[in-house]
Amino acid sequence: MSSESAAAPALLSTPLNALHRELGARMVPFAGYDMPVQYPAGVMAEHRHTRSAAGLFDVSHMGQIRLDGPHAAAALESLVPVDVVGLQPGQQRYAFFTQDDGGILDDLMIVRPHADDGLGDLLLVVNAACKEADLAHLQRHIGTRCQVEPLPDRALLALQGPQAEGVLAKLHAGVTEWRFMQGRCVELAGARCFVTRSGYTGEDGFEISVPAAHAQDLARALLADGRVKPIGLGARDTLRLEAGLCLYGHDIDTTTSPVEAGLQWAIQKVRRPGGERAGGYPGAQRISREFTEGVRRKRVGLLGQERAPVREGVVLQDAQGSVIGRVTSGTLGPTVNQPVAMAWLDAAHAAAGTVVQAEVRGRRLPMTVVTLPFVPHRYRR
């Protein structure tokens, strides 16, 4: 081995890095960024606080991309199996980029801003680890049909929990009128922000795209409310898992199709087989076939019958010891107070109520297939 080893690339920082350290966060590398995994109270307390009050998350490592031009919606529809053309101003939609074999390249959020929001025709939020690849994918396939512009000068905050509305309404009263997956530009703490009523915890809440230069002032204004505490990546993961929400690269990836993953609810009727704008996106042949013929494996929820948590990668077996799947995410659910997991299972074993065995350090732990989510969603519909 050479004495001169290649230096690891320097971690990127979000605009709130100094504030995280001031608040006592334990920082870890995540998707190329220096990110807070937890604060002094710990993951369990942060999780429970978000479920009962309001938690503030820094998700500025996510990618924000603007699409502009009269053909932006139609162009984006050629890369995703969801209805983009039908999005109304102020409406947001969950989506996923698919590849030619129907696998998922990334999942993302799409919103159509109002014309006077000044953010183009469409605004996308993509996963941090995929954002460079997603940007290249967009530019390569639709860059001649619309303007594709990354927005690195914007931070992204998420305010989540049953008291999030009351907290944010102190800064802008109009947010109380919005429903889940609606949003627009408003002034918050002296900054013009694009806010959507959305999030990835299963709780009511908001995601706030704010100019990076104003991110710390806004975060401090929100944290000044006694109902709000800072929340790290650890609790963000346990919250989304209890809510049955996929983590890209773990529960879904390029080997999984949307139908296998149980995400067909995100494909609107107009884009399904027989719909007015069916097909026309990568992998449409496979995905259409799975709509009509079914799948051989499925993403499921598992509830542990014993206290030991079952982690990602654990092999799942049937009563005879045959391998029938594997765990993709797992933890001890702080709200349900039981081990919870998501897994891929052969379709023959995926019905709710089926008991499977998780192989953990030589022990076989029984887990029951359950309907997701583990904790009911509390979105403001």
Task: Read off the CATH number of the domain in which 308 is found.
Answer: 2.40.30.110
The answer, yes or no, to whether residue 179 has pLDDT greater than 70, is: yes
In three-state secondary structure terms, 130 is helix
Structural tokens at position 60: 């500025």
Where does a domain end: 242, 277, 304?
242
* Residue labelled with tokens 């159509």: 112
Q: How confident is the model over 328-374, as pLDDT tens digits?
A: 999 999 999 999 999 999 999 999 999 999 999 989 999 999 999 99
pLDDT value of residue 7: 63
Does residue 238 share a domain with residue 357?
A: no
Domain residues for the domain of 381 are 296-381
The answer, yes or no, to whether residue 54 has pLDDT greater than 60, is: yes
The answer, yes or no, to whether residue 4 has pLDDT greater than 50, is: no
For residue 169, is it within any domain? yes
Indicate the number of domains in the chain: 2
For residue 312, is it within any domain? yes
Does residue 302 share a domain with residue 227?
A: no
The answer, yes or no, to whether residue 376 has pLDDT greater than 60, is: yes
The answer, yes or no, to whether residue 24 has pLDDT greater than 50, is: yes
Confidence category of residue 6, pLDDT binned at 50, 70, 90: low
Task: Verify cis geometry, omega within 30 degrees of 0, for the bond prior to 373.
Answer: yes
Q: What is the DSSP string of 206-261?
A: EEEEEEGGGHHHHHHHHHTSTTEEEE-HHHHHHHHHHTT---BTTTB-TT--TTTT
Rounded Cα distance between 97 and 111, Å, is: 15
For residue 188, is it within any domain? yes
Rounded Cα distance between 200 and 50, Å, is: 12
Phi/psi at 84 (nearest 5 deg)?
-95, -40
Q: Is-contact 324 354, C-beta < 8 A?
A: no
Which regions of the chain does DSSP assign to beta strands (E)? 26-30, 33-38, 54-58, 63-68, 91-98, 104-112, 122-126, 147-150, 154-160, 183-188, 191-196, 205-211, 228-231, 297-304, 315-317, 323-333, 338-346, 355-360, 363-370
Where does a domain end: 197, 213, 242?
242
Does residue 229 share a domain with residue 159?
A: yes
CATH number of the domain residue 215 falls in:
3.30.1360.120
The rounded percent of the chain whose pLDDT value lies above 90 is 97
* Integer Rg of the chain from CA: 21
Amino acid present at 132: E
The answer, yes or no, to whether residue 50 has pLDDT greater than 50, is: yes
pLDDT value of residue 9: 78
Closest Cα partner for 354 from 283, 311, 305, 310?
305
> What mean pLDDT is predicted for residues 80-98?
98
The answer, yes or no, to whether residue 85 has pLDDT greater than 90, is: yes
For residue 142, is it within any domain? no
Q: Is-contact 295 325, C-beta < 8 A?
A: no
Rounded Cα distance between 292 and 151, Å, is: 39
Q: How confident is the model over 265-291, as pLDDT tens digits?
A: 999 999 999 999 999 999 999 999 999
Does residue 374 share a domain with residue 307?
A: yes
Rounded Cα distance between 97 and 87, Å, is: 17
For residue 326, is it within any domain? yes
Where does a domain end: 179, 207, 242?
242
The answer, yes or no, to whether residue 42 has pLDDT greater than 80, is: yes
pTM of the model: 0.96
Structural tokens at position 189: 């703490």
Provide the mean pLDDT of the chain. 96
